[in-house]
Amino acid sequence: MQLLGYFPRHAARVAACLAFIGALSSDAGFLSAQAPGNDSTSPLFTWRDAALLGGVAAATVATMPLDRTLAERLQRPTVQENRLLGDIATVVRNVAAPGSVIIGVGLYTIGRLTRNDRAADLGLHGTEALLIGNGIGVVLKGAFGRARPYRDVTDPRDFQLGRGVGHGGDYRSFPSGHSIAAFAAAAAVTSEMDRWWPNGTWAVGTLMYTGAALAGASRMYNNRHWASDVLAGAAIGTFAGLKVVKWHHDNPGNVVDRIFLGGTVTHGRVQPAQLRWMVMPTRD
């Protein structure tokens, strides 16, 4: 409990916002899971998604007035000199990136070598969510051109359209790439587990989203991102993770699964694709 004395009250509020995003996202992933045979009638994007994203965007804007206060308080000597906080920040940062990519590729490789369909499925779709989420993040970083807090911790409003392209990492603060990676992995894992082990979704989701929230907080602690960067990254990563998993399970004959899994995914199991390939027209 003594650790809480080093954690500013405003930072605790941001952590609560991150946890709230995780809770909404877990609920969204659970509600998007369709009963067998109904997947084809479920649209990938819904008005509910738009409402959730609008709410997160509003929360991100509402957090911006706190950016400077949080950054200044987290850089106080009493906070930065705490070795436990520093060690935690280092661990969760590395687990988020590049750890999430290494874990995803590793799971896919092990699953294919050992013919463990679920491991391969989880590794492939988790990695795909990471790539899509970070692709969106790269575009937004370049477009918004926001200065990182270590450039000037007193000016969180330093945005400049297009400045993030070709000016190095100093002006690529919004959104947080580590948060995108951490929350994309959390969303993908939780969504997949909900299909295989629904009774354990709550425990898995709590663990994954807590770790993702810590990864985002570590970027604030290391003075690399503002609080609003982390919230935006959390939303992008979560959305990418949920939608990638849903799309694959709604479209079991998709070309990605056929190429990388050697079949189609149906309720967490990979079905052989030989018959599907045999009926495809041949070229002269």
Local confidence pLDDT in tens for the 284 residues of the chain? 333 343 444 444 454 555 545 544 444 443 333 333 344 457 888 888 889 888 989 999 999 999 999 999 999 999 999 999 999 999 999 999 899 999 999 999 999 999 998 899 999 999 999 999 999 999 999 999 999 999 999 999 999 999 999 877 899 999 999 999 999 999 999 999 888 888 888 999 999 999 999 999 999 999 999 999 999 999 999 999 999 999 998 888 888 888 888 754 444 454 544 333 323 333 33
Q: What's the pLDDT score for residue 269? A: 52
- Of 147, 137, 99, 106, which is closest to residue 124 (Cα–Cα)? 106
Distance separating alpha carbons of residues 230 and 217, to the nearest angstrom: 8
Distance separating alpha carbons of residues 43 and 49, to the nearest angstrom: 11
Half-sphere exposure in the Cβ direction for 181 (13 Å, CA): 20
By the 8 A CB rule, do 110 and 116 touch? yes
Q: What's the pLDDT score for residue 17? A: 52
Tens-place pLDDT, residues 61-74 = 999 999 999 999 99
- Of 9, 14, 10, 7, which is closest to residue 230 (Cα–Cα)? 14
Ranges of H-type helices in the chain: 9-32, 47-63, 67-74, 77-80, 83-94, 100-114, 117-144, 177-196, 201-221, 227-250, 255-260, 274-278
Considering the domain delimited by 2-33+45-273, tell me its CATH architecture. Answer: Up-down Bundle (1.20)
By the 8 A CB rule, do 108 and 260 touch? yes
210 to each of 42, 47, 234, how far by Cα in Å? Answer: 29, 27, 12
117 to each of 196, 245, 266, how far by Cα in Å? Answer: 12, 15, 11
Tens-place pLDDT, residues 190-213 = 999 888 888 888 999 999 999 999
Q: What's the pLDDT score for residue 75? A: 95
Which pTM was predicted?
0.80
- Of 193, 62, 174, 171, which is closest to residue 126 (Cα–Cα)? 193
Distance separating alpha carbons of residues 48 and 226, to the nearest angstrom: 28
Distance separating alpha carbons of residues 178 and 176, to the nearest angstrom: 6
